[in-house]
Structure 1
Amino acid sequence: MQTVNIHEAKTHLSRLVEQAAKGEPFVIAKAGKQLVKVSALDSPTGDQMRRLGFLSGYIKVPDDFDRMGSEEIGQLFGADDETTA
């Protein structure tokens, strides 16, 4: 595994990150003392990725969803009964 000092890492960061992303991790050292290891993250596979709508067909939103609790909310804010109906 390649070890680079901080100055070299700053100078060649783009190249080093590309190498790490391809599976070649490296270590950054300061004054010869190893500080951190940089390696690629595991990307989720297609089956592991969550998408919007993944519960489609499993839940049902009520038709009056936007009016649910309107009476209680109206009472909390002092609305009369005619405006909440």
Structure 2
Amino acid sequence: MQVVTIHAAKTNLSQLLARVEAGEEIVLARGRNPIAKLVPLKPVAARRRFGALRGQISLGPEFFEPLTEQELAAWE
């Protein structure tokens, strides 16, 4: 969490808001006294990681077999 003076916040407001949107919290201070905190309204969604379920899910060989006529008809 970074502390930013009010003067610096007024000068760099767009950049600070972009950092807040990315999930960072910023404290605004008057001199050395913290007075406010900028936080995102919505929590930042966690990024999906490829292979996160590796070893937890398994597919049998029947998964790769062709569908029967009855199963194909159910999809139409």
Matched residues in 2 for 1:3 and 1:19: separation? 13
Structure 1, unaligned stretches of length 5 or more? 44-85
**Over aligned residues, Cα RMSD in angstroms?**
1.1
Please identify runs of 4+ aligned residues in structure 1 that moved more than 6 A: none
CA drift at 1:15: 0.2
- TM-score when scaled to structure 1? 0.49
CA drift at 1:34: 0.2
CA drift at 1:11: 0.2
Structure 2, unaligned stretches of length 5 or more? 44-76
Aligned residues: 43
- TM-score when scaled to structure 2? 0.54
Identity of aligned residues (%): 40
Higher relative contact order (CA 8 A, sep 6+): 2
CA drift at 1:38: 0.2
Matched residues in 2 for 1:39 and 1:13: separation? 13
Which residue in the other structure is 1:6 paired with? 6
Matched residues in 1 for 2:24 and 2:42: separation? 13
Q: Which has the larger radius of gyration?
A: 1
